[in-house]
Amino acid sequence: MREYLDFEKPLKDLEGRIAKLVKSKSTKNSVQEAIEKSTDQLAKMEEDLFANLSPWQRSQIARHPQRPSISDYLEELTENVIELHGDRLYGEDRAIIGGFATWKNRSIMVMGHEKGKSLKERMRRNFGMAKPEGYRKALRLMKLAEKFQRPILTFIDTPGAYPGVDAEQRGQAEAIARNLLEMIRLQVPIIAVVTGEGGSGGALALGVADRVLMLEHSIYSVISPEGCAAILWGDASKSSTAAAALRMTAPELLKLNIIDEIIPEPLGGAHRDISLTAKHVSKTLETHFNQLEKIPLPKLLKQREAKFRSLGAFSSLQDGTKKVKTANS
């Protein structure tokens, strides 16, 4: 059963009225006309609503409980998946899954965050918040991909790395930093796709890639809107204001040259049609992998390093103030 977000309540109400009319099975012209009129009204309402989403509303769609996760994309896009487990240092982290797979007759290494579907599974997956062993597992798989010369594909969907005491005791910060260091010099093409919520270092630990792509309604930020609002104003109810200030949506990040392309979603979000979303993802991936495979390795590594070194650079103005310098400025 489809779940509705708060701002989708008008859609839910209208769909409910249409369902009642259809269920009545009345053949009266007045009822059929009411169904047609309401259906047209619903289509127009959806078009207007989703064409003018606020950053906070996009954040809600990115976190939708029915939003497709890496397991959905693996099922839709790949074959011959061989899931690999453990970091060979501490244990298994179910918040990150990955392994070898076949996609469009290519053998690739694919990995990403898994939040889970049911409450029981989400708890088992720790709601997609990985611990150090999760990031070390991911790095182990990346090294395997490099050894066997397989391109790497990562799916990012996490509120952030797990901030618990046990994670800190086992070196959470070092594990994330190690991934950043190693990914920048891995000698295979890497593509990262932000499919839902790209939160802080927990997302970046899988995001140092030659191409960074985002689904249309996903978000990518150093902190959550709630966390930002709590720090700046001491009031989490100002999350919508924080979401706008963070410039965390795909269109904003494309303007800032943080990402390389936006992958379109079905009207209303990826959860409305997972198969169609997967087709959009696959088509975009094919374009970028084809481009990356033609680039000589030394040039590819230089471009990857330059891509991330250009982010967040500053230049001083004559009046002593600082100005953000984007990748293309």
Beta strands in 14-78 (DSSP E): none
In this predicted structure, what is the pLDDT of residue 327? 44
Give kind and range of the element (H or E) at residue 327. Answer: none
How many C-beta neighbours within 10 Å does residue 211 have? 21
40-56 tens-digit pLDDT: 888 998 899 999 899 99
Q: Render pLDDT for 293-320 as a digit per residue (tens, 0 to 9).
A: 999 999 999 999 999 998 876 666 666 5
Q: What's 270's DSSP letter? A: G
Mean pLDDT across the stretch 256-262? 94
**With bands split at pLDDT 50, 70 and 90, how would you rate the model's confidence at 322?**
low
Helix 239-246 and helix 55-62: axis angle, to 10°? Answer: 100
Distant-in-sequence, close-in-space partners of 34: CB < 8 Å, separation ≥ 6: 21
Q: Closest Cα partner for 54 from 270, 239, 263, 280?
A: 239
Confidence band of 264 (pLDDT split at 50, 70, 90): very high
Strand partners, 172: none
Handedness of CA 116, 263, 217, 42 (dihedral sign): negative
Tokens linked to 159: 């509120």
Ramachandran angles phi, psi of 12, nearest 5°: -60, -45
**What's the average model confidence in pLDDT over 248-274?**
94
Q: Mean pLDDT throughout 206-224?
A: 95
Report CA-CA distances (Å) from 168 to 20, 131, 132, 161, 165.
54, 9, 8, 10, 5
- 52 DSSP 8-state letter: S
State the average pLDDT over residues 175-201. 96
pLDDT classification of 38: cutoffs 50, 70, 90: confident
